[in-house]
Amino acid sequence: MSQLEFTAPDPDLCTEEEISRLVHAFYGRARRDPSLGPIFEAHVTDWDAHFVQMINFWSMKLRGTNRFRGMPMPKHVALPALTAELFETWLRLFRQTTSEMGNPVLQFNADMLAFHIGTRLWQRYQLERYPDRQMVELCET
């Protein structure tokens, strides 16, 4: 098998059904997580709308659709007391979910994007919340 290469966004990378399964499975896992679950439950008031928004987001990132309308950065920066460990837990749960999708190309591209997105959110969070502290990098494990 040839080495996987980052190709997103590409409509042939995955189906909308796969994105929907990914989003629902991931958030089911995240909501059960003892560290992430309470954060999501405290800040997501309409899960059906959140699922639609996240499906649109990942469809844009993975398939190149243009349905997503939103500004995730300010919403994440506004959350209190986030840590590198929380972002790393989010990434670990996301990777667990993509590994179960049965689509290695989707898994590789979604995992690459998730790490990039998580890193950018965490960097911005630190810049906004802790401008005088040394930046803490996320681990890729």
Helix (H) or strand (E) segment spanning residue 15: none
CA distances from 53 to 44, 56, 81, 104, 128 (A): 12, 5, 24, 24, 25
Q: What angle do CA 115, 118, 25 make, to 5 degrees?
A: 80
| Per-residue tokens: 133 | 């502290």
Please provide the average confidence, as pLDDT, over all residues in the chain. 95
Confidence band for 4, pLDDT divided at 50, 70 and 90: confident
- Give the residue-averaged pLDDT of 7-20: 94
- The answer to whether the pTM exceeds 0.85 is yes
Q: Across residues 42-69, what is the average pLDDT?
A: 97
Distance CA 37, CA 14 (A): 28
Of all residues in the chain, the percent with pLDDT exceeding 90 is 92
Span 100-112, average pLDDT: 96
Q: What is the pLDDT of residues 25-34, one digit of tens each?
A: 999 999 999 9
123, pLDDT greater than 60: yes
pLDDT of residue 141: 63
Query: How distant is the alpha carbon of residue 91 from its chain centre?
Result: 7
